[in-house]
Amino acid sequence: MSPNLVELGYLISAVLFILGLKGLTRPRTAVQGNLLGALGMFVAVVVTVLARTDLGLMPIAIGIAIGGVIGAAFAIRVQMTGMPEMVALFNGFGGAASVLVAGATLAIGQTTSDNELIATAATGLIGAITFSGSLIAWGKLKEIRALDKIEIPAHHLVNALLVLACLGMSWVVVSDPEYRNLAYWVVVAGALLLGISLVVQIGGADMPVVIALLNSYSGIAAAATGFVLSNTVLIIAGSLVGASGLILTRLMCVAMNRSLANVLFGKMGGGKAAPDADEVYVNVKSTSPEEVAMLLEVASRVVIVPGYGMAVAQAQHVVSDLRKALVERQIQVEFAIHPVAGRMPGHMNVLLAEADVPYESLVEMDHINPTMDTVDVTIVLGANDVVNPLARTDPDSPIAGMPIIDADKSRMVVVIKRSLSPGFAGIPNPLFAMDNSMMLYGDGRKAVQDILKALNEG
């Protein structure tokens, strides 16, 4: 194949990626968009193999076979509750692949110009941070408790020193032909440590931001690899992913009213004027599934606010059954989705879609808030901070200014929760103690099942 033909193939592939991503942003075209993206990938790989007849095909075939089987197994077996873990892990694989490609290209001796060498060092740095950071994020999502206990002393200093060490070694990569290869792997080692150190201190509630950011990094690492190989399709595909991850990162930060710097380097909680939990919870009333069923029977509009607790309790299917039962009784049921509910962007939407909840009954926070005062019963299921009115009223609170779902404005609020323990922000929630609010203690799935049972018997 002539070089021009190869570039034409890559161009077609890049266009397919652009059309694919564009398709993924509209529900109607999403399936087609995903397939176009896959086609783009196929074209890129086929063109590469056809372009270089000198390539040994055996190692390539082995790698693709192994990766294909593992990837397919992941895709078929993963539960929708486990999507955040899977995406975290895959972000890491993307970063690692870029690191290995840049390292291999350096080992061949193909990388000679300063530009390519700078790109090589950048790939090692970004790719390795993506890899180790993603593994830590994966561990945190798996709730490996030991990770939360790790305290790095003089954290910012350690990070700064690691950055300096990586930059210093990058300079060796560029300037010293003799120790170039060794220096590259030292950069990678330093960046692996940096990735761990950066992510290990970030709390579980901030995982949607972290995953979106690592998603972006995995794309940028691929784009950097594109500069190493002077390969246009890597640059274009990588930067598209980088941009998409950045947009999601920004959306998540806005939804928490926090800057990216605050998420990455600040610590949540520790608000100086956090009200005392015992005082706030003096007037908490508890209720029974039967009582909730009676409330629901006479309601005409019910809103359910799901949170990560719903995913943990695997309550999405029984919630979907409850919705059906209420809809059969001519009751309007909507789900109010906070942008950072769950552990990754859009997590709640995917869980509820899996449980057959129609797309139309999922309502965004900004759309449902203006009419929350006409809601008869709001059921808060496994959510806490995203319905905490302190965000509106207490400027000293750690969640001050965070947009919340105005559950407190509805006529009745039923909070399904195991106990009165605080959410990730570590502050009590006055919503639980309001006159119009009642607690239904217990496991989310069991509680909703009991409500459903009482509803069907009543």
Partner 1 sequence: MTTVAFVLAVTDSVEGIVPASTSAGPSTLMLLLGIFILAIFIGVEIIAKIPPTLHTPLMSGSNAISGIALVGGVLAAGASGQAAMILGTLAVALATINVVGGFMVTHRMLGMFQKKKSPRGM
Catalytic residue numbers, as ranges = 385
Least distance in angstroms from the C-beta of 55 to partner 1? 3
In whole angstroms, give the CA distance from residue 383 to residue 307. Answer: 4
Please give the residues from 14 up to 43 whose contact with partner 1 meets the rule CB under 8 A: 14-15, 17-18, 20-22, 24-28, 30-31, 33-35, 37-38, 40-41
Q: Does 254 sit near partner 1 (CB under 8 A)?
A: no
By CB under 8 A, tell whether 367 contacts partner 1. Answer: no
- Alpha carbon 31 to its chain centroid, in Å, reads 21
CB of 349 to partner 1, least distance (A): 4
Does residue 140 bind partner 1 (CB under 8 A)?
Answer: no
Indicate whether 189 belongs to the interface with partner 1 (CB under 8 A): no
Distance separating alpha carbons of residues 103 and 283, to the nearest angstrom: 63
Distances (CA, A) of 3 to 10, 319, 410: 11, 57, 65
Tell me if 239 contacts partner 1 by CB under 8 A: yes
Side-chain-facing half-sphere of 374: CA atoms under 13 Å: 9
Token pair recorded at residue 278: 């015992």
Q: Which of 85, 87, 213, 390 binds partner 1 (CB under 8 A)?
A: 87
Closest distance to partner 1 from the beta carbon of 154 (Å) = 33
Q: Is the dihedral of CA 376, 292, 277, 312 positive or negative?
A: negative
Q: How far is the CB of 42 from partner 1 (least distance, A)?
A: 9
Site string for partner 1, 108-137 (x = CB under 8 A): x-x-xx-xx---------------------
- Footprint of partner 1 on 66-85 (CB under 8 A): 66-68, 70-72, 74-76, 78, 80, 83
Q: Which stretch binds partner 1 (CB under 8 A): 4-12, 190-198, 322-330, 395-403?
A: 4-12
Site for partner 1 in 157-176 (CB under 8 A): none
Query: Around 251, how many Cα atoms within 13 Å sit in the side-chain half-sphere?
Result: 16
Nearer to partner 1, 280 or 340 (CB): 340
Write down the least CB distance from residue 427 to partner 1, Å.
25
Residue 273 in the binding site for partner 1 (CB under 8 A): no
> Which positions ≥6 away from 9 have C-beta within 8 Å?
1, 43, 44, 46, 47, 50, 51
The full DSSP string for 154-170 is: THHHHHHHHHHHHHHHH
Residue ranges in 279-338 that form contacts with partner 1 under rule CB under 8 A: 337
Q: Which of residues 35 and 273 has its CB atom nearest to partner 1 in the complex?
A: 35
Q: What's the order of all strands across the beta sheet hosting 377-381? A: 362-364, 332-337, 301-306, 377-381, 412-417, 437-441
Identify the bridge partners of residue 412 per DSSP, sorted by sequence position: 377
